[in-house]
Amino acid sequence: MTPLLALPAAPDTRSPLPAPLGGTLVWQVSGREAAELAHLPRLELNARGMADLEMIATGAYSPLRGFMNEADYRSVVERMRLHDGTPWSVPVTLPVPGERARELRGEVALTHHGRVVGRLQVSEQYRPDKDREALEVYRTRDETHPGVAALRAAGAVYLAGEVELLALPRGDFPAEHLTPHEARAAFAARGWRSVVAFQTRNPIHRAHEYLHKVALELVDGLFLHPLVGATKSDDVPASVRMRAYGALLQHYYPAHRVLLGVYPAAMRYAGPREAVLHALSRRNYGCTHFIVGRDHAGVGNYYGTYDAQEIFSAFGREELGIEILRFEHTFYCKTCGAVASRRSCPHGDAHHVALSGTRVRDLLRAGEPLPPEFSRPEVAEVLRSAYRDRS
């Protein structure tokens, strides 16, 4: 590989924050000019491929150094581990059409929107078992599932090999677009010895705030880390979600105990499997804890309410290297006058107002106001304005 640009310092082995998965925080950002790769055959990446390239090269997907070879791919599909036994739950692969694969040998320039963004050293080509992959990773072969639909639409051959990213893509939120190295440095600068990460692709609501603040009673810092990569067309846009986070943080959170960053991965909607991937990558960012609520990374009715929590029993606590905070379904209790769960509220369903991102989206699409039990007024105004503009 080409010498790396501005290689960040290795994580401090004396730090209370967890070691990255595999022991080394990968960094494969070279700073090379695109012109240096002009002589190579080109392969255009879609949004997921570009996101995966960044996640690999910046260490968010440590210990991966490239797109998976066949041994790792099959091991992940069948037993949620890399070939060497390291926990890993979702294949990270690079599909291409069969006819293109014949042209892609050795070094390949990776492009996105026609611009050279990186390089792949092709080490292997193989044909996946897409039926098995769909059933094991997504728990269905139903092509109306967005993850399965993407799998079926992708090329028939997978390319494997180490990657190089030419430059960091800071995206639409440059101030919050922290690499794992930068996040770890930010935690250390704040003196945080324990950090809980929280992710959502949904608009922020009162149930989320409840989870955050319960977790903050247990740890030093909260890393709000919303996913801003590719999502379904009917999901709330990342720009709107980020404005909502800003409004909430300004008025309702202690600034010295919260850090807002963005998670540039693309959604796969793999439910329980994706929950494990999200937890392992947050370990790489330096987090000690990760919140998993109801139906994490789910879509439709493909997964049980708490499947994304139960899947973690397949791994030992030490090998995960991050503590999972499991939260039950929460609601606003009109009698308690607060957000609660079955663990803390004695009242029946008639007293409860269900809180969910899906319900928030439904109300917004219908042009109805968001009640205070759902959302803080500042957040509700951000969401109302966004949906009014879209209409």
200: CB partners within 8 A, 6+ apart: 208, 226, 227, 241, 357
Do 36 and 209 form a contact (C-beta atoms < 8 A)? no
Tokens of 58: 């910046």
Contact 209/339 with Cβ under 8 angstroms? yes
Buried residues in 69-100 as b, exposed as e (16+ CB within 10 A): bbebbbbbbeebbbbeebbbbbbbbbbbeeeb
Is residue 202 flagged as an active site residue? yes
273 is catalytic: no
CA triplet 351, 374, 258: central angle to 5 degrees? 125
Which listed residue (48, 65, 119, 201) is catalytic? 201
Please give the radius of gyration of the chain, using alpha carbons only, rounded to the nearest integer: 21
How far is it, in rounded angstroms, from Cα 198 to Cα 243?
A: 17
- Read off the tokens for 193: 């010895």
Annotated active-site residue in 202, 206, 243, 376: 202
Active site residues: 201-202
